[in-house]
Amino acid sequence: MELGWSTSDLEFREMIRAEISALVPADIRTRVENIQHLKKEDYQRWQTILAERNWATPAWPPEYGGPGWSPLRRIFFEEACFLAGAPRPIPHINMIGPVLQAFGTEAQKERFLPGIPSLTEWWCQGYSEPSSGSDLASLRTAAVRDGDHYIVNGQKTWTSWAHWADYMFCLVRTSDAGRPQEGITFLLIDMSTPGVTVRPIYSLDGAHDLNDVFLQDVRVPVENVVLRENEGWTVAKYLLNAERTEIAGLGQTKRLLQYAERLAAGQRRDGVTLADHPEFRSRLARIRIDLKAHEWTVMRVMAAGHGDASAPSASVLKICGTDLLERTSDLLMDLGGPAALAYDPAVHLGRANGAAPYGHALNGTAATYLEFRKAGIIGGTTEIQKTLIYKDAAARWGTS
């Protein structure tokens, strides 16, 4: 055990902060700091800038073009991006990328990996279905073999960014034999295939991130299976582990806290700034403290690598992240004061330019509160995560 940081690590930190700070385009930075939703092009522009320096996929191993950073340096990189007002990394980079690297054929790697770092090809995740949410293994979208294709029929839902996506990685049922988990296949679907229909789902805050994806007689070449037919559950479980630091929501939480602190420093109520207001001062302090704890939990997980039973689990990270996102967005709702009563979604969601009636910061308060009610639902509900934590914990602490 050694808790210090080396000089070279600290030098790296200085370097990356300065570099990233110079790289973020001003218009993107403004939108990020105003907590406005970004456009697809914003994400692509930023990832392209990073890709030119080979920093677009910090968690990928060097043989696939990753920069080969230690976990600590990845944290410093993320911190630098955060401080510079860069867009958050698109989660799918660390989902479909590692999956293809671990399970993909050479042909799949050659075909799909190059489009990921700069987001020239956009991916979405087809997991949830109308009847399969927490109980993912009950999914019913069926793929039936027909020569060298599968014919896929079914519906995916709550699919983030399906309307931007070129490809969808998804779980489909290829067999009803055995346990529900045993008949599932991990399949890559070209979203331009006939029979794929995307329908928007508007969220509480008015945003369009989510979609229904209808699949009607969609023909998918068999070479788009990852791993093997009926072994999709193995891939899905691997992916869950690969995304566990994504699921921690550390960057998003930091961004919300930064937003809250800026608002608190700039707005006055009852004769004091909100930062000094008795109602808000200690709530802000506790969120800052819990965020520090969370950041160290993430570091512990990154340092521990796979299979270390004493390290916190992905579920612990998810619970901590959810708790912080819920509390910080809750705080924002309160910080908004009366102005949170008005909300101009067009500006906030990036559908219109210009300023909101009471400014961007106040305009985003209620919207952010509404948006982050999702925190305990997406990526495995809080209830599912707690049950998983208990199972681990009973094995670790429940035996004499």
Partner 1 sequence: MRFDLDADQRALTATIEKFAHDTYGARSSRTPEDAPADYSVSVWRRMSELGLTGLCVPEECGGLGFSVVEILLVSEILGRALSPEPFATAAIVAAKLLEASAAGPTRDSMLLAISNGEVRLAPAFYESVADYDLQSVDARISDEGGRLYIHGVKELVVDGAGATHFIVTARSEAGEINAYVVPVDVEGVKVSPRLGLDGRWLASAEFNGAAVEGDAPLFESGEALANVEHALDFGNLSLCAEALGLMDRMLHLTAMHLAVREQFGKPIGTFQALQHRFADMVVAMEQSRSVTWMAAAALESGELGAGASDLSAAKSAVCRYGRTVLEGAIQLHGGMGMTADFELAGYVRRLLAIEKTWGDRVYHELRFLEAS
Tell me which of 129, 229, 243, 371 is the catalytic residue.
243
DSSP for residue 129: B
Q: Does 282 bind a copy of itself (CB under 8 A)?
A: yes
Distances (CA, A) of 97 to 93, 168, 242, 393: 6, 13, 10, 31
The span of 101-109, 193-201, 277-285, 359-367 binding a copy of itself (CB under 8 A) equals 277-285
Map tokens 């020239």 to a residue.
Answer: 120
Site for partner 1 in 116-135 (CB under 8 A): 128, 131-135
- Tell me whether residue 106 or residue 270 sits nearer to partner 1 (CB atom): 270
Contact map string, positions 294 to 323, toward partner 1, x by CB under 8 A: xxxx-xx--xx-------x---x--xx---
**Window contacting a copy of itself (CB under 8 A); options: 107-115, 197-205, 275-283, 376-384:** 275-283
User: Residue 302: CB partners within 8 Å, gap ≥ 6?
Assistant: 71, 72, 74, 75, 245
**328-387: which residues touch a copy of itself (CB under 8 A)?**
none
In the complex, the smallest distance separating the C-beta of residue 280 from a copy of itself, rounded to whole angstroms, is 10
* Under rule CB under 8 A, residue 281 binds a copy of itself: yes
C-alpha–C-alpha distance, residues 230 and 175, integer Å: 7
Residue of 27, 135, 176, 279 that binds a copy of itself (CB under 8 A): 279
**Min CB(395)–a copy of itself separation in Å:** 23
Q: Which of 222, 70, 210, 190 is nearest to 121 (CA)?
A: 190
- Residue of 15, 144, 289, 355 that binds partner 1 (CB under 8 A): 289
Residues 67 and 74: their CA atoms lie apart, in Å, by: 9
Closest CA to 298 of 285, 324, 322, 316: 316
* Active-site annotation holds for 383: no
As a whole number of angstroms, the distance between CA 3 and CA 11 comes to: 17
Measured on CA atoms in the order 190, 97, 143, 141, is the torsion positive or negative? negative
* Choices 18-26, 46-54, 141-149, 341-349 (CB under 8 A): range interacting with partner 1: 341-349
Q: Does 65 bind partner 1 (CB under 8 A)?
A: no
The one-letter amino acid code at 341 reads L
Name the residues that contact a copy of itself, by CB under 8 A. Answer: 278-279, 281-282
